[in-house]
């Protein structure tokens, strides 16, 4: 059984802790957070603390705090011969300043406190500085998900960057869609099945092949009509993405 301590009280820490407490391959020996209030709900399941000097002995220490707090927290982990990992997509493994061995356990998913998470399908990207640690981390990752990948720090940054496009930027386009609906007294729910289908379609088809719409088919008449209906900001985005689709399919207007 792998003994872990989880450090953090945010969404990733919350869902990871909740999952690992039920995971028979793992024993969560302790949860740490600077503010004890945020981890009170784990009190009946494991030890909790807000004092780094009281950290218990474990095989793996999982730092699951905000990206910009990882380095500072890692500095304060002064024990040796353990494995200290973080869970971030954008922080390189070697940015960890703990004196123990280093690694990364990055779940490629967006977490919100309200929404339940099925970890078994979440891709887990792992990295470690020694073979032995990688094996240990792999055992942990495989106990969490059937979708486990060896990914180095450079690749992980690329995944994080790609995730900005397919998650953050996609959500912003959903927002613009909802703006257009609001401005014209249309319930946004009308677009929900289309949004779900757009996401589902690319499981069977690569996005390059799934592309449809006026930009793809060079329908300049519709494109010009659309532009005239938009606010300046929406129009700028419409124009640039249309141009980019033209470039992608080797066609110029």
Q: Which is nearer to its own copies, 37 or 221 (CB)?
A: 221
Binders of its own copies in range 67-106 (CB under 8 A)? 67-68, 90
| Distances from the Cα of 79 to the Cα of 82, 83, 251, angstroms | 7, 10, 59
Binders of its own copies in range 129-188 (CB under 8 A)? 147, 149, 151, 154-155, 157-159, 161-178, 180-181, 183-188
Going residue by residue from 26 to 65, which x/- string records binding to its own copies, judged by CB under 8 A? Answer: ----------------------------------------
Question: Which segments within the chain are labelled E, that is strand?
Answer: 2-7, 26-32, 47-49, 60-63, 83-86, 101-107, 124-128, 148-150
Burial class (CB in 10 A: 0-12, 13-18, 19+), 205: exposed
Other Cβ atoms closer than 10 A to 173: 12
Position among 153, 216, 218, 235 found at the interface with its own copies (CB under 8 A): 216
Contact 161, 87 (CB under 8 A): no
Binders of its own copies in range 8-27 (CB under 8 A)? none
115, two tokens? 């929404």
Q: Which is nearer to its own copies, 50 or 147 (CB)?
A: 147
- Residue 1 binding its own copies, by CB under 8 A: no
Q: Which stretch binds its own copies (CB under 8 A): 19-27, 40-48, 134-142, 190-198?
A: 190-198
The whole-angstrom separation of Cα 40 and Cα 56 is 17
- Residue 233 binding its own copies, by CB under 8 A: yes
Residue owning tokens 């938009």: 230
**How far apart are CB 80 and its own copies at their closest, in Å?**
30
Q: Which is nearer to its own copies, 49 or 239 (CB)?
A: 239
119, two tokens? 């970890």
Q: Which is nearer to its own copies, 61 or 106 (CB)?
A: 106
């Amino acid at each position: 059984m792998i003994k872990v301590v989880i450090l953090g009280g945010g969404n990733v820490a919350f869902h990871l802790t909740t999952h690992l407490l039920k995971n028979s391959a793992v024993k969560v020996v302790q949860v740490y957070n600077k503010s004890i209030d945020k981890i009170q709900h784990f009190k009946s399941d494991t030890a909790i603390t807000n004092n780094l000097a009281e950290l218990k002995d474990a095989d793996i220490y999982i730092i699951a705090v905000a990206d910009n707090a990882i380095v500072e927290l890692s500095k304060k982990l002064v024990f040796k011969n353990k494995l200290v990992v973080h869970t971030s997509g954008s922080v390189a493994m070697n940015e960890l300043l703990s004196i123990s061995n280093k690694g990364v356990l990055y779940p490629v998913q967006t977490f919100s406190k309200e929404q339940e998470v099925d970890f078994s399908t979440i891709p887990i990207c792992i990295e470690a500085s020694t073979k032995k640690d990688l094996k240990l981390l792999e055992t942990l990752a495989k106990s969490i998900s059937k979708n486990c990948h060896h990914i180095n720090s450079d690749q992980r940054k690329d995944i994080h960057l790609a995730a900005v496009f397919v998650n953050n930027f996609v959500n912003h386009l959903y927002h613009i869609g909802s703006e257009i609906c609001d401005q014209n007294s249309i319930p946004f729910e009308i677009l929900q099945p289309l949004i779900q289908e757009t996401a589902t379609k690319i499981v069977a088809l690569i996005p390059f092949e799934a592309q449809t719409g006026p930009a793809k088919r060079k329908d300049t008449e519709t494109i010009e009509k659309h532009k005239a209906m938009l606010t300046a900001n929406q129009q700028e985005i419409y124009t640039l993405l249309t141009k980019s689709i033209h470039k992608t399919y080797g066609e110029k207007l």
